[in-house]
Structure 1
Amino acid sequence: MKGIMNAAVFKDIGHMEIEKRPIPDCPADGVLIKIYACGICGSDVRNFHNGLKGGIRDQIMGHEIAGEVVETGEQAEVFHTGQRVALAPDVSCGSCWYCKRGLVNLCEHHKMLGTHYPGGYAQYIALPGEVLKRGFVELIPEGMSYEHAAFAETCSAVLACQERNQVSLGETVVIIGDGPVGCLHCEVARSRGAAQIIMIGRDKLDMAASFQPDLLLDGARCSEELVDEVRSRTGNRGADIVICAVPSVMVHQEALEMVRKRGRVVIYGGVPKHNEISSLNSNLIHYGEITLTGAFSYPASGLYDALSALENGHIHAEKYINAKVSLYDVVEGMDMITKGQALKVMIDPWLEP
């Protein structure tokens, strides 16, 4: 397909430019997709201010993508023109120790759309065969909007986290963080049968309240008060699981003090590279036999599972998506997230500024 497209291009830290670029050629073994929606992820905001992995510059960011296949290569398999598809960023190598054991999210040679490949802050994206084979491309369920389908990527990791950590019937779950991920953890935990959900947030408390946690606490309060509140709601035992859904190391010790003996603390999501070291009371972990674990990305079924959860009404995308911007306003959309003015901002690449 010949022609010119608009793209928001990350040039350097804190610098994004709108460029006119040729519509990418369709790879012989791949597809060309016309993008109709791309979400702004919290990691995009962090990367915009801190830089992409490996110092990559002059790249089209964005990895929460939904669109339509408009061209297929002669050697392409599975997909055909006219199909609506949702994309997620991870591309595994298929041959390392982790990939051979099905742990594709832990791939030693992990790559991402929006970092190692051009991403979704554009009107078109070309996917080579290796992305089709070892990445995440799923058909959008009939009747689902492009915006809701693009939101599925955000849901994928939350679902995988709670499945691996077996959030289950009757448990008390503490979620530290009131952004879209924190709110998703609330909704997913409820659907899995959690008996009590306590959320701790700061700048999106009003929006988080709409997800009806059993207790919503202001994280600006002192740590001792927050820990006391959690323990008072659990017979002084502590929560069964605490999920740290904020990009900050400051809450990790707090979480250890909130969880019960034999409980689980999950560090969900990354933190800035310049502040990634936690200082934890190891005796709490030792004597309480607490499990401390991380949660990153999702298995090969992750995007499919998320689309199914959205289709079946276990997750309600309309409660999260509360702003839409054009490619020209991507930085303004990031600012809305930083300032707590929106849970999820969607980019419509065809929207005029």
Structure 2
Amino acid sequence: MKVARFYAPGDIRIEQAPEPSPGSQELKIKVHNCSTCGTDLKIFRHGHHHIDPPRVIGHEIAGEVVEVGSEVDGWTPGDRVQVIAAIPCGECPDCKRGWMTICPNQRSMGYHYDGGFAEYMTVPHAVLKVDGLNRIPDSLSYAEASVAEPFACVLNGQELARVGEGDTVVVVGAGPIGCLHVRLARSRGAEAVYLVELSRQRLEMAAALVKSDAAICAADADPTEEIMRLTDGRGADVVITAAAAGKAQEEALKMAARRGRISFFGGLPKDNPVIACDSNLVHYRELTIVGANGSSPDHNKRALDLIASGAVPVDDLITHRMPLDGVLDAIHTVSTGEAIKVTIEP
């Protein structure tokens, strides 16, 4: 079979490999879609401390069960499934409290285990143990189901930030995550959702799809001034920084309304993670700042349901579909900002 293996920064190879055989507590799937994200681009450029090369990468996975281990119950060949990316241990104090997103023993598909940029792959016991293999509703395509993984992360972020009825929400970053944030905020009852992005090209493409109430190009206007103008000086109830930029986090503090909630959704580069925080804004406006780290198996299940129900459509966000041979082209396309979501179809 064909796989895309990471060897070193700048070195991903399309290779032939033997088809895997599942162990007694595993199962094997035929990958139908594995979508790409900014993390794949980071891995290509810089590697990752959790990846011991060579490793088949790709973690937004949807496929079809083709073989089931002798000790695995509840699954049969032909089942359509979506696989979680972040795998909690299910046993530590945090997991037992229901905080699976911050499990200190977390492992990941495409990092610790071979991922979905392959024609076939095994789903490890660690995934099955935490109920991390999800049935794809009949109404969904494999491509749509593959978007459930990043959408699950968005769902976690908005639950932590308590996005709800009547809120004015600002989403900073118009990539696929930002687009999903706009749509989820709407489905959760937000009164207005504003999209902020530095790239005019990406902003126009995203805003045309998700139809934000306003689209603000940060290269042409001061985003805080624009948000204050749009809200008659009050600011936003929720600001979500879906961009890996310290400046966006600093500006989020300024554009938040009294009692506003700020989600630091996008992590910062490890060599530059410190921002200037005006703590008086936090103090006098009684602001809440929350982080958001990935998703739990339950988030993945609910993300699939939200997509299937039509509450948060994703099919139109998949702007590019490429074969497995095109993984490097897909990663390049992600780097240029020409696409919203790129999916690989092995």
1:217-248: CA deviations, max 9, x gaps? 002135xx221111112121111010000122
Runs of 4+ in 1 over 4 A off after TM superposition: none
8 Å CA contact 2:51–2:111 kept in 1: the answer is: no
SS of 1:53's equivalent? coil
Pairing 1:16-35 to 2, within 5 Å after superposition: 16-35=12-31
Alpha-carbon distance in 2 for matches of 1:322, 1:19: 26
| Compared CA separation, residues 56 and 276, structure 1 to 2 (3 A) | farther
Alignment TM-score, normalising by the size of structure 1: 0.94
Alpha-carbon distance in 1 for matches of 2:163, 2:321: 33
2:164 to 128, 150, 168: 168
2:44 aligns to what? 48
Alpha-carbon distance in 2 for matches of 1:71, 1:105: 29
Residue 135 of structure 1: how far off its partner (Å): 5.6
1:300 aligns to what? 297
The unaligned stretches of length 5 or more in structure 1 are none
SS of 2:330's equivalent? helix
| 1:108 paired to 2:104 | yes
Aligned length: 343
1:79 aligns to what? 75
1:266 aligns to what? 263
Q: Percent identity?
A: 37
| 1:310 paired to 2:299 | no
Alpha-carbon distance in 1 for matches of 2:240, 2:44: 25
1:169-224: CA deviations, max 9, x gaps? 111101100001111111111111111111101331122122111110002135xx
Alpha-carbon distance in 2 for matches of 1:246, 1:78: 39
Residue 55 of structure 1: how far off its partner (Å): 5.2
2:344 to 340, 344, 347: 347
1:206 aligns to what? 204
2:139 to 143, 149, 171: 143
2:5 to 1, 5, 9: 9
Alpha-carbon distance in 2 for matches of 1:226, 1:308: 34
Aligned-partner residue type, residue 177 of structure 1 = G
1:125 to 113, 121, 126: 121
Alpha-carbon distance in 1 for matches of 2:28, 2:51: 27
8 Å CA contact 2:321–2:345 kept in 1: the answer is: yes
8 Å CA contact 2:84–2:297 kept in 1: the answer is: no
2:90 aligns to what? 94
Alignment TM-score, normalising by the size of structure 2: 0.96
Alpha-carbon distance in 2 for matches of 1:253, 1:43: 23
8 Å CA contact 1:180–1:344 kept in 2: the answer is: yes
Aligned-partner residue type, residue 270 of structure 2 = K
1:247-298: CA deviations, max 9, x gaps? 2222111110000121111010323222222222222112222111111122
Alpha-carbon distance in 2 for matches of 1:40, 1:236: 39
| Compared CA separation, residues 124 and 319, structure 1 to 2 (3 A) | same
